[in-house]
Amino acid sequence: MAETKEKSLSDEKPKPRVRPIVRLGIFLISHSFHVSVVCCTAGVLALFLLPVLAKNTYISENALMPGSASPMLSNQHVSDGNRLVKDLTNPNSKSSETGIESHKIIAQYMLDLGAEVSFHKFHPQMNQFHPLHFFSSPDSGKIQENYSCSSYGINTVGIIRAPRGDGKEAIVLVTPYNALKSGFGEALSLGIAYSVFSLLTQVTWLAKDIIWLVADSQYGEYAAVAAWLREYQTPKFSSLSAPNAEMCPDVNNLFELKGHSISGSKFSNSFRRAGTMAAALVLKVRDQNEQFEDTISIYAEASNGQMPNLDLINVVNYLAVHRQGLRVNVEKLWSLLNSSWLKSLGEIFESLAKVAKSLYPKWKFGIPATEYVEGTATLASSLYYQALGVPTGPHGAFRDYQVDAITLEISPKFSLDKVWRNDILLRGGRLIEGVIRSVNNLLEKFHQSFFLYLLTSPSKFVSVGVYMIAFALLIAPLPMVAASLYVDANSSSKRSKGDSSTPSAITDTDEHSIAIRSWSPTTSFMIWVLLSILSLLTLNSVLASPLACAKATQEKEWALVKSVTISSVFIGLGLMSVINFATAEIGALLMVPMCLLAQPLKLDVRAGTLRSFCRMICNLVLGHIAFPPAAFFLLKGMLDGFGNANVGDFWMWVESLWAWNSATYLFIGMVQLPCWVLCISILFHTC
């Protein structure tokens, strides 16, 4: 009796309860296939819903107060700008082979206003890739050793000291100008900047110093601005006339300028600085316009997907539309505007919105189909340029130093004769005046509004809290599928755990470091492909990968490889989303379906069912699309037409990513390409 009592007591001991989070994890892993289908479908749907979920922009920083004051720019300032335009377009100003006369004219005009003027000499720099460039501040760069008198550029800099400031903050106005090949649009942009500059020398409300940088763009607009910023942020304590003064007599001619003692102006041959930069505006004017009204285009993308504070764009948009009557444009993928399937999708969303509104009148879901198409084209452009990692203008150089900056390009609707020239000078000048006045009101840096966003129009945006949902849904099933594959492979195969790490021996086959720059892009690309194939075959034979084995006991080896591949993709996409979300989003669209569907083709052939046949076709299609060169050609063909696609274009694109220190270059070489190789190995597994 005592023994039976003890047994009954032992049987009644409560078993340890499984925690709910553990139960949920087991459920998700056991149903990973259904979870993957639901999450991926929802992720793609959420991505297409982003234009519908976009919100109207608003100014978060109350201190900006755009348009609260009447513009002070008058016709007299416009006349001053017209005089500069006339002098710069005079053939005599372009007589020098180095464009020295134009720089002297601009500097003399600045001196006449009482500004502090200096010249900044810079040399072309060699491209040097830095893998962690996006984690650190820009370096001083490496200058070409063999340069001549004709291989340097000269930036002209004018500074206005604020009467109510302490010299600790500044606003920068940049006008790119190539004195050797300048068009009328560049001269007009200088005229607008000069009219604003002349106004700012007279006002009493200025609390931040004003820097006007006339960037010598003969070696590129970005190069000139970046060289000046490097000197501004990391001084070298050297004067302009020190290097090569004897060899380059034209340099000495720059100093033949007369300062006016009445206004206290002063010319210096040393590099002049102001305070910390609060914001920067790059101003450009196009010679011709394809629109039917005066427009202004905003370019905001900087390196590796960095964007300026949204308030800066909002101020420009508000003043341009509501004060100067300009139409504001942001970049679009024009090929999507005529897409029939996108119009049909917009009509479906519009119909669903009407049904939802009839059921619940307060529901504000949905936009017209035409607005949806334009929003999607703008959103796709924003994603593309952010993912590219290459700045869309010289403003990108400022963002590398955490300075909010944008490029404004004014496009007049008529030819720039004298009448319309004055109109553009007045409206453009008042726009710049209004933006400077708003930034001048700030007591601290831009911080109230968003830094992570996607634009669907100049007045609508998608915040990080919304667009991350689509990305999170796409990558959510990856860890569950990886865990499920690992459990299934270990349960069906009694092999030692040490073998599961062997497939990771297939590594990056990126051969971009080969010094083949002397050949054409097409030849370089073909050599890269051949060497990559040779490297793969060598690794496969030397390392004796289990992928080449056909033993029956290794039928589940491909599942372990797939588990490792999916885990690598999940980690790579997660890290990339921190550096450049747009690259991670596009990478997820290409790689997640391929990794989830990857299965040996031999198994599908043996099955002989319709489902296995469809999966085999999908694997072959996704395997081709996810290959980086194929994805590039497909995207280029959709945008520019397949007739314009060339094999060498991919190599040139990769070289441009390398030259701009784009994180997308590292993503392709260290995440996408190796994982694609592993997926192809799974497809051709000899199980």
Between CA 366 and CA 282 the distance in angstroms is 36
pLDDT reported for residue 501: 40
pLDDT reported for residue 139: 55
End-to-end, the C-alpha distance of the chain in Å comes to: 60
Q: Rg (Cα) of the chain, in Å, rounded?
A: 30
Degrees, nearest 5: CA angle 524-580-527: 10
- Is residue 185 domain-shared with residue 287, that is, in the same domain? yes
The two structure tokens encoding residue 635? 């995207």
- Is residue 189 domain-shared with residue 210, that is, in the same domain? yes
- List the CATH number of the domain containing 229: 3.40.630.10
Positions of the chain with pLDDT under 70:
1-30, 92-98, 125-150, 235-266, 288-291, 414-419, 491-522, 524-525, 528-529, 532, 535-555, 639-643, 687
- Is residue 273 domain-shared with residue 413, that is, in the same domain? yes
Q: 536 lies in a domain? A: no
Between CA 559 and CA 50 the distance in angstroms is 35
- Alpha-carbon distance values, 211 to 79, 118, 148, 412, 425 (Å): 22, 11, 29, 26, 20
Between CA 474 and CA 520 the distance in angstroms is 39
Q: 109 lies in a domain? A: yes
Residue type, 237: F
Q: 91 lies in a domain? A: yes
Residue type, 241: S
Bridging pattern class, strands 169-177 and 209-216: parallel
- Is residue 617 domain-shared with residue 471, that is, in the same domain? yes
- Is residue 310 domain-shared with residue 449, that is, in the same domain? yes
Domain tally for the chain?
Answer: 3
Q: 503 lies in a domain? A: no
Among residues 70, 154, 9, the alpha carbon closest in space to that of 323 is found at 70
Q: 243 lies in a domain? A: no
- Is residue 366 domain-shared with residue 471, that is, in the same domain? no
Note the helical H segments in 580-686.
581-597, 601-607, 610-625, 628-640, 647-659, 663-667, 673-683
Residue 356 belongs to domain spanning? 332-388
Owner of token pair 């001083």: 140
- Is residue 224 domain-shared with residue 194, that is, in the same domain? yes
Q: What digits encode the pLDDT tens for the residues 119-170?
A: 998 887 665 555 555 555 555 555 444 455 567 888 999 999 998 888 899 9
Between CA 130 and CA 208 the distance in angstroms is 35
- Is residue 384 domain-shared with residue 272, that is, in the same domain? no
Among residues 601, 576, 585, the alpha carbon closest in space to that of 671 is found at 576
pLDDT reported for residue 541: 60
Q: Hey, how many other C-beta atoms are within 10 angstroms of the C-beta on 76?
A: 10
Q: 12 lies in a domain? A: no
Q: Hey, how many other C-beta atoms are within 10 angstroms of the C-beta on 282?
A: 27
Burial of 397-410, coded b for 16+ CB within 10 Å and e otherwise, reads bbbbbebbbbbbbb
- Is residue 384 domain-shared with residue 415, that is, in the same domain? no
Q: What digits encode the pLDDT tens for the residues 385-435?
A: 998 888 999 999 998 899 999 999 998 876 656 667 888 899 999 999 999
- Is residue 673 domain-shared with residue 587, that is, in the same domain? yes
Q: 525 lies in a domain? A: no
What DSSP character marks residue 275?
A: S
Residue type, 374: E
Q: How far is CA 101 from the centre of its chain?
A: 37
Judge whether 327 and 291 are in contact, CB under 8 Å: yes
pLDDT reported for residue 554: 54
- Alpha-carbon distance values, 653 to 365, 525, 648, 683 (Å): 40, 11, 9, 29
In SS3 terms, 95-122 reads as CCCCCHHHHHHHHHHHHHCCCEEEEEEE
Judge whether 160 and 201 are in contact, CB under 8 Å: yes
Q: What are φ and ψ of residue 386, in 5° steps? A: -70, -40
The two structure tokens encoding residue 415? 């030819």
Owner of token pair 């009148």: 361
- Is residue 208 domain-shared with residue 356, that is, in the same domain? no
- Alpha-carbon distance values, 190 to 183, 458, 540, 579, 629 (Å): 11, 26, 61, 36, 42
Strand, helix or coil for residue 206: coil
- Is residue 280 domain-shared with residue 222, that is, in the same domain? yes
Q: 23 lies in a domain? A: no
Judge whether 119 and 242 are in contact, CB under 8 Å: no
Judge whether 427 and 294 are in contact, CB under 8 Å: yes
Burial of 491-528, coded b for 16+ CB within 10 Å and e otherwise, reads eebeeeeeebebbeebeebbbbeeebeeeebeebbeeb
All residues at 6 or more sequence positions from 86 whose CB lies less than 8 Å from its CB, including other chains: none
Burial of 203-212, coded b for 16+ CB within 10 Å and e otherwise, reads beebebbbbb
